[in-house]
């Protein structure tokens, strides 16, 4: 039986979480799809619904994983977004703490889904968020030097006491996509970006602006026409291609 548009979107969104390779493997804590086999091989079915969309894509992405964990017969959620407080001050938080009963393991998991473009700022090429505020190097450093160590804080380790014979494991699930300049060589999994004026006017009707809730699965996006001019960075999809379109005055919004 053919799936409806909504059913196909639900299926593809969860399959993205389970099959998208990380945007980087520069650290062994970043999980590849193969290293998530402990999760995927025992998952009997996908959730039937998506969580309500949140303005923050990262928060919605976390809730997608909560739905997947809830469907998993061998997993028990111990903590989600657990804050660590010392002397009435929040010093950090962890995303997920999960008991994996099949493998007798307590797993601390940090989640992130990021879309970065390769752009030259201050005479230096770097991976940045389309809003010009986020940096891949900053995000990765934060996850490795602050968020992962929080898993060993006594307040988090205290939660493991219910499972004295389970070993402890940490993983970062870092998904998303990287986008190179349209003229640059790139790997097959990378996308491209270009300035508004670089897109042929006669071809604009072939593309659509992708709403944030479809960034993971742009081929199933609801139609939003691409206007003649844009005043902000937008994700665009059409002709089987996903790319970022930047306004020609893109750099004028950069504050350093």
pLDDT band for position 225 (cuts 50, 70, 90):
confident
Q: CA 104, 107, 112: angle at the middle one, nearest 5?
A: 155
pLDDT band for position 124 (cuts 50, 70, 90):
confident
Checking if the pLDDT of 80 tops 60, the result is yes
**By percentage, how much of the chain surpasses pLDDT 90?**
72
CB proximity list for 130: less than 8 A, separation 6 or greater:
115, 117, 233, 235, 244, 246
What's the predicted TM-score (pTM) here? 0.93
CA gap 194, 182 in Å, rounded:
6
Residue-level pLDDT at 26: 94
Residue-level pLDDT at 173: 98
Checking if the pLDDT of 256 tops 60, the result is no
Residue-level pLDDT at 222: 67
Checking if the pLDDT of 94 tops 80, the result is yes
Residue-level pLDDT at 108: 99
Mean pLDDT taken over the chain? 92
Q: CA 22, 241, 179: angle at the middle one, nearest 5?
A: 45
Checking if the pLDDT of 187 tops 70, the result is yes
Check if the beta carbon of residue 208 is closer than 8 Å to that of residue 238: yes
Which sequence spans correspond to the domains of the chain? 5-117+134-177, 179-253
Stretch 24-37: mean pLDDT? 95
Instruction: Mark 119-137 as b/e (b = at least 16 C-beta within 10 Å).
Output: beeeeeeebbbbebeeebe
Nearest to 251 by CA among 136, 126, 130, 115: 130
Stretch 70-75: mean pLDDT? 96
Residue-level pLDDT at 99: 98
């Amino acid at each position: 039986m053919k799936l409806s548009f909504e059913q196909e979107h639900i299926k593809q969104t969860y399959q993205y979480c389970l099959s998208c390779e990380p945007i980087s493997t520069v650290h062994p804590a970043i999980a590849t799809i193969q290293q998530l086999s402990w999760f995927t091989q025992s998952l009997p079915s996908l959730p039937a619904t998506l969580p309500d969309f949140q303005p923050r894509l990262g928060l919605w992405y976390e809730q997608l994983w909560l739905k997947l964990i809830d469907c998993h017969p061998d997993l028990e959620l111990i903590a989600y977004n657990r804050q660590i407080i010392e002397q009435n001050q929040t010093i950090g938080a962890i995303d997920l703490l999960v008991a994996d009963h099949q493998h007798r393991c307590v797993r601390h998991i940090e989640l992130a889904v990021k879309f970065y473009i390769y752009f030259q700022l201050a005479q230096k090429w770097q991976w940045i968020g389309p809003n010009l505020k986020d940096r891949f190097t900053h995000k990765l450093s934060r996850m490795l030097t602050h968020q992962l160590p929080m898993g060993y804080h006594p307040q988090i380790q205290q939660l493991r006491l219910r499972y004295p014979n389970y070993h402890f494991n940490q993983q970062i699930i870092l998904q998303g996509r990287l986008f190179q300049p349209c003229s640059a060589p790139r790997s097959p999994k990378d996308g491209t970006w270009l300035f508004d004026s670089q897109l042929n006017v006669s071809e604009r009707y072939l593309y659509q602006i992708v709403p944030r809730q479809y960034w993971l699965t742009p081929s199933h996006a609801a139609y939003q026409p691409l206007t003649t001019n844009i005043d902000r960075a937008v994700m665009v999809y059409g002709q089987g291609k996903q790319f970022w379109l930047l306004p020609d005055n893109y750099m004028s919004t950069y504050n350093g």
